[in-house]
Structure 1
Amino acid sequence: MTAVEPEDEKKVDLEDVLDKFSIYRSYHLQIAGLIFLGFATNTMFCSNFIFVAEETGYTCIRNFTDNNTGCAECLYDNPNSFVAELQLANQEWKRTLVGTVHSLGYMVGLLIVGPLSDRFGRKNAFIMTGVLGGVFGVARSFSHSYWLYICLEFLEAFIGDCCSPAYILITEVVSTKQRLKFILMCTIGYTFGGFATSLAAWLVPYWRTLLQVLYTPALLFFFYKYLLDESPRWLLIKGHKEKAVEVLEKAAMKNNQKLDKHFLDKLSCENNETLDFFKIIKSTFQSKVLCGRFFVCLVWWTTSTFVNYGLTITSVSLQGNKYINFALLSVVDLPGLFIITYILTYCKRKLPLICCFFAAAVLCVSQPFVPLDLPWLSIVFFMAGKLMSSFYFNITYLYTSELFPTYTRNSMHALCSSLGRIGSIISPQTPLLMQYWFGLPSLIFGLASLFGGFVTFFVPDIADDSLPDTISQAEELGKPKKPLACTNPNATN
C-alpha cells in the first residue's frame, strides 16, 4: 500500500485532501461510471418526446356535418403512433405541447430539487429524482388519455431530474486541478444517452414500448444508496465532519492509499451550527455581486436551453434518415467535449464562453442562406452551430457551479437552470415558425446566442480558484487570491 504523508499545517483545507486522490483510481472511476449513467438517462428523458410524439400524417375520411374544415374520422399513416392512438389529428399544438410541458416540469421541479440537494445532500436528491423519474416515465407508457399523459409528463420532469444534484456532486468530490477532466469523464454520458435514444427509437418504433425501454433502467438507481457516497464538501459544510472523514478514508482504502488520521482531524471549514436555509438564500441575493452574477447566469441558461433543444428538435426535419441525423447530432458532441475541456484547461472560462456564443450566432444566422442546391453544406453549418451551442451549454453548467458558495451552490445552480428553462419551454414550438420562413428558427437561435455572448463580459474570469464555501469567498472570485477561511455563511462581506 502507498502511504500519503500527513501535512504539517495547523489547518488542512478539503482541497488539499482531495488533491491526494487521482481521478483514474478505483474510487473516482466508480463515481464517474455511476454518474455517467445518470447523465445518460437525463438525455433520454429530455429528448424521447421527439420520437414518442413525432409527427404522423393522416387523411380525413369523414368531415363534420356542420363544419367541413374539421375531420370527424381520420385514417393515420401509422395507426400505432402516439398521434393516432390519442386522436390528435388537426391538433398539432397538442403534439408539440408534450415537449413544452416536459420543460415546464423541469423548470418548476428544479426550484425544489436544488434546495432539497442543499438541505438533504447531493446523493439523496440524486437517488430520489432518478427513481421517481423512472416510475412516472413507465406509468406514461400505459396512458390512454392525452391529458393523463400530459400530467405524468409534467410529474416526471418535475421530480425526475437527477442531473442537477449529480453535477454538483462531481464538482465537489475532486480537487480544482482535476475538476475539468473528471466532469468530462462523467458528461460523456449525455452523448451516450442521445445516441442510445436514437438507437432505441429505431429498434423499438412503438412509442409505448419505447418509453418502457428508456425508463425502466432508472428504477435501478435505488441501489445507488449502497454504491455512491455523499459529497464530503457538503458533509463538512453541514457540520458532519466524522462522516466526511469516513468517506475520505473509504476513498483512500479503495485506492490502496492511507490517510493519516491526524491529517484528517485538521480539516477546516466545518460548521456545526444549524443553518437557516432561507436566510442564507436571502443573504445571497443581498450581495450585489452575486445578484449580478445570477442574472448573467440566467441569460446563459435561457440561451443554452433554447438553442440546444431547439436545434435538437429541428434536426429530425433535416434531409435524410431522422434516426441517423439525431445520432449524429449526439455523437458530434463527443469530440466537442474533449475539445472544450482542453480549451478550458488553458484558457480559463470567460473568453471560451464568449467565443462559443459568437461562433454559434454566426453559424445559426448563416445556415438559412446556404444555397438550396448544397444540402450537405447546410447540414455542416447546422451541425457546427449545434456543436458551438453544446460548447457554451457545457461551459455554462461548469461556470455556474463555480460562481456560488457551497451553502447554496445547488440551489443557485438549480434556480438558474430552472428559470432558464423558459428557453426549452419555447423551443418545441420553434418548428411552427417554419411555415412563415424555413430559416426563421435558425435566425432566432443566432440572435439569442449573440446576446448571451455580450452579457458574459460582466462576470469574473475564473479557473484556478478553489470552490468558495461562503458568500464572502464567492465575492472574491476573480480577485487576487486570499487564504480560504471559515466565516459566517450569512455574512456578505
Structure 2
Amino acid sequence: MGDNLLDKIYLDDVLAKLSVLGPYHAVSFAWLTLALLFETMCYSSFMFIAEEVRYSYEQNTTTAWCNSPMPCSQWIYEDPNSFVAEFQLACQEWKRTLVGTAHAAGYMLGIFFVGSLSDRFGRRNIAIVTGLTAAVFGLTKSFVSYYWIYIAIEFFEGAIADPYSPLYMLILEMVATGSRATFTSMSNAGLVLGGMSLALIKWLVPYWRTYTRVIYAPMVFYIFLIILVDESPRWLLTKGKKNTVVMNIENAAKLNKIEIKENLSTLSYEKETSSNFMAVIAKTFKSKSLLKRFFVCIIWWNTCTFVDHGLLINSVLLKGNRYVNYGVISFVRLPSALVSAILLNNYKRKGPLMLSFVACTVLCISHSFINQNQAWFGIAIYMASKLTSGMFFNITYIFTSELFPTYTRNSMHALCACLGRIGNIIATQMPLLAAYWSGLPVVIYGATSLVAALVTTLVPDTADVSLPDTVRQAEAIDSCKKGRTASF
C-alpha cells in the first residue's frame, strides 16, 4: 500500500481537474491520434499490397486454364507491376491471401506478448519500440524479392510490431473516470483517418513497393513520442514512481494555467506486492470474479471480430471503386464512435453494449430477408449493421479494460483480444455458407450477437468507478455502485 495519511488524495480527483478540453490533454490527444493514424495504415496495408489482380496465360496462341496440365510459357497480368505479378502468383490464389493470413496469425500470437511487455515496461515505451520496429519491417519488405521471406516478415511484423494495444491503454489511463468513454471514443478519429488515408494513398501511389514505403516511413515519428507524450500516470504509480507522476501533473497544470491546491505528495497509490509477472497473472485467475469476467470478455471479443470482420468481407453489395468503398467503410467507424461515446456518457456500460448487440441481431436478421430488388434498402440496412458492430467493438474495448487491475490490464486485454481473433479466422470462411442460402452468414452474425448480449448480464457495470489498480480493488467493483472502488 502507498501512503496511509488521513488527508491523502486520489489520482482520479487530480486528473478530473485537468479537463480533457484543456491544452494538456488536447495536445497529447493530437499526437496520439497521429500515431494511431500511422498504425492503422500499417496494420491494414496488406489488403492493398496483395490485392487481387486479373491474369491469364498462354502457350503460343492458345489460352489455357489454371488446372491445365500443359506448361505455360508466359503469364499475362492486368497489372504487370503488381505484387501478384512480381511474385508470379497466378493460379496460386492461396499464396496471395496467405499474406493477410500470416499477418493476422502473427498479430494473434503477438498481441498478448506486446500487452505483457506494456504492463511491465510501460505503455508509451512499448508503443515506441513496436512502432519503430514496424517501420523497419515495413521498409525492409518493400525491397524483398523472395516470396517466403516476405511472408516471414509479414508474420513477425504482426507479432512484435503493432503498437495499437499499448497506445489504447495509454489513452485510457491518462484521463479521469468521467472522461474515459469520451476520450477513448475520440481516439477512433485516428483509425478513421488512417483507413481513409490508406485507400487514398493506394489510389495515388499504385506501385506496391513505393506504396509500402510511403505507408511505413512515417512510423519513424514514434521516436518523438518520448518527448511529446507522458507515460500513463496509473502505470507509473503501480511501479512506485510517484515523483514522476507529481512532476507530470504539475507540468500539465502549468500548461492548462490552473492551480492544483492539493498536496500532491499525499497522492494515494497501491503497489502490487508480487514482482513476478506470471504470479500476478495467476493471482488474477485465482479470483472467481475476475475469471468469470475473463470468459465473458472472450465471448465479447470473438463476437466483435467474427461479426465486424465478417460484415466487412461480405460487403459485396457495395459496388464501384474498391478504394472509395474501403474509405466509406472506414468512415463508418466515426459515427459509431460518436454514438458509442454519447451512450456511454449517459447510460453507463452494460446498457449500451447490450443495446448494440441486440440492434445488430435485428439488423442482420432483417437484412437476410430483404428483397434483392430493393438494393438501396439492403445497402442501408447493411451499413447500419456495420455501424452497430463498430459500436459494440468500441464499447468492448473500454469495458474490457475497466474490468481488470492496472498490473495486468494490458495483458488481460491483450489475452482477450488474442483469443478473440478466433472469430476473425472463422469469419473468413463464412462466405462459403452463402452457397446454401445467401442470407445464412448474416443470420449467424445476428445470432452470435444475441448470445453476446445475454452474457453481458454476468459482469458488473464499471462506468462510475475508478480504474482498479489491484485484484482486490477489481473484485470490489461487484459491490460498488457509484464513486470510487470500495477499496479506495
The verdict on a shared fold, with TM-score over 0.5 as the criterion, is yes
Match of 1:414 in 2: 414
Equivalent position SS for 1:59: strand
Structure 2 equivalent of residue 16 of structure 1: 13
DSSP 3-state at the match of 1:74: strand
> Is 2:120 the counterpart of 1:123?
no
Q: Give the Cα–Cα distance (whole angstroms) in 2 for the partners of residues 101 and 317 of structure 1.
A: 27
Structure-1 residue corresponding to 2:308: 308
Task: Look up the match of 1:479.
Answer: 479
SS of equivalent residue, structure 1 residue 462: coil
Q: Which moved more, 1:156-165 or 1:440-449?
A: 440-449
CA contact (8 A) 2:39 2:163 kept: yes
- Identify which range, 65-74 or 363-372, moves more after superposition: 65-74
1:100–1:428 contact (8 Å) kept in structure 2: no
Q: Tell me whether 1:167 sits opposite 2:192 in the alignment.
A: no
1:484 shift after superposition: 4.8
Q: Does 1:60 align with 2:53?
A: no
* Cα shift at 1:66: 13
- Answering whether residue 431 of structure 2 is matched by residue 427 of structure 1, we say no
- Aligned residues of 1:14 and 1:267 also touching (Cα < 8 A): yes
Deviates more, 1:241-250 or 1:394-403: 241-250
Match of 2:448 in 1: 448
SS in 1 for 2:68: strand
Q: CA deviation at 1:300?
A: 1.1
Deviations 1:218-263 (A, max 9, x none): 1111111111111111111111111111111121122122334x61
CA–CA distance in 1 between the matches of 2:316 and 2:65?
Answer: 37
2:108 is the counterpart of 1:107: yes
Shift of residue 369, structure 1, vs aligned partner: 3.4
The CA distance in 2 between the partners of 1:134 and 1:199, in whole Å, is 20
Counterpart Cα distance in 2 of 1:70 and 1:369: 46
Alignment partner, residue 490 of structure 1 = none
SS at match of 1:393: helix
Are the counterparts in 1 of residues 103 and 155 from structure 2 also a CA contact under 8 Å? yes
Distance 2:320 2:420 in 1: 32
Offset of 1:89 from its aligned partner?
1.7
Shift of 1:294: 0.6
Counterpart of 1:386 in structure 2 is 386
1:177-192 to 2 correspondence within 5 Å? 177-192=178-193
Cα deviation per residue 1:355-404 (whole Å; 9 max; x = unaligned)? 21122223233334322222222221221111110000000000000000
Give the equivalent residue in structure 1 for 2:234: 233
Q: Within the alignment, does 1:224 sit opposite 2:221 as a pair?
A: no
* More displaced stretch, 269-278 vs 236-245: 269-278
**Residue aligning to 2:460:** 460
1:126/1:166 contact within 8 Å kept: yes
Equivalent position amino acid for 1:214 in 2: I
Q: Which moved more, 1:449-458 or 1:410-419?
A: 449-458
Aligned CA-pair RMSD: 2.4
Q: Secondary structure at the match of 2:259?
A: strand
Partner of 1:49: 46
What is the CA–CA distance in structure 2 between the aligned matches of 1:88 and 1:168, rounded to whole Å? 40
The residue type equivalent to 1:54 in the other structure is E
Aligned-partner SS, 1:166? helix
Which of 281-290 and 442-451 deviates more? 442-451
For 1:60-459, what aligned pairs fall within 5 Å after superposition?
A: 60-62=57-59, 68=68, 72=72, 73-260=74-261, 263-271=263-271, 275-315=275-315, 318-431=318-431, 438-459=438-459
Letter in 1 for 2:146: S
Deviation at 1:427, TM superposition (A): 3.5
Distance 1:37 1:140 in 2: 23
- 321-330 or 373-382, larger mean C-alpha shift: 373-382
Q: d(CA) in 2 for partners of 1:212 and 1:311?
A: 30
Paired letter, 2:179 = Q
Per-residue CA deviations over 1:395-426 (Å, capped at 9, x if unaligned) read 00000000001111111111111111222334
Look up the match of 1:39: 36
1:287-337 residue CA offsets vs partner (Å, 9 max, x unmatched): 111011111111111121222223233447732221221111111221221
- Deviation, 1:217, is 0.4
Cα deviation digits, residues 431-483 of structure 1 (max 9, x gap): 55556655444344333323322222221122111111111111121423586
Distance in structure 2 (CA, Å) of the matches to 1:273 and 1:240: 15
Unaligned runs of 5+ in 2: none
Partners of 1:113 and 1:383 lie apart in 2 by 33
Counterpart in the other structure of 1:4: none
Q: Is 1:312–1:326's contact at 8 Å kept on the other side of the alignment?
A: no
Cα separation, partners in 2 of 1:343 and 1:269, compared to 1, 3 Å: same
Q: Deviations over 1:150-201 (max 9, x none)?
A: 1111111111221111111111111111112222332211111111111112
- Secondary structure in structure 2 of the residue aligned to 1:197: helix
Secondary structure class of the residue paired with 2:383: helix
**Paired amino acid for 1:412:** M
Change (3 A) 1:270 1:243: farther
- AA aligned to 1:277 is F
- Structure-2 change in CA distance of 1:118 and 1:65 (3 Å): closer
Distance 1:53-1:314 versus aligned 2 partners, 3 A rule: farther
Gap change, CA 1:214 and 1:373, over 3 Å in 2: same
383-392 vs 297-306, which deviates more? 297-306
* SS at structure 1 position matched to 2:263: helix
**Structure 1 gap ranges (5+):** 1-7, 488-493
Helix, strand or coil: the match of 1:465? Answer: coil
Q: Percent identity?
A: 48
Asked whether the 8 Å contact 1:315–1:326 carries over to 2, the reply is no
Secondary structure of residue in 2 paired with 1:476: helix
TM-score, normalised to structure 2, is 0.92
1:363/1:391 Cα in 2 relative to 1: closer, same or farther (>3 Å)? same
Change beyond 3 A, Cα 1:434–1:148: farther
Cα distance 1:66–1:436, how it changes in 2: closer, same or farther (>3 A)? closer
TM-score by length of 1: 0.91
- Bigger mean CA deviation after superposition, 267-276 or 75-84: 267-276
Structure 2: which amino acid aligns with 1:325? N
Alignment check: 8 A CA contact 2:52 2:84 kept: yes
Q: How many residues align?
A: 479
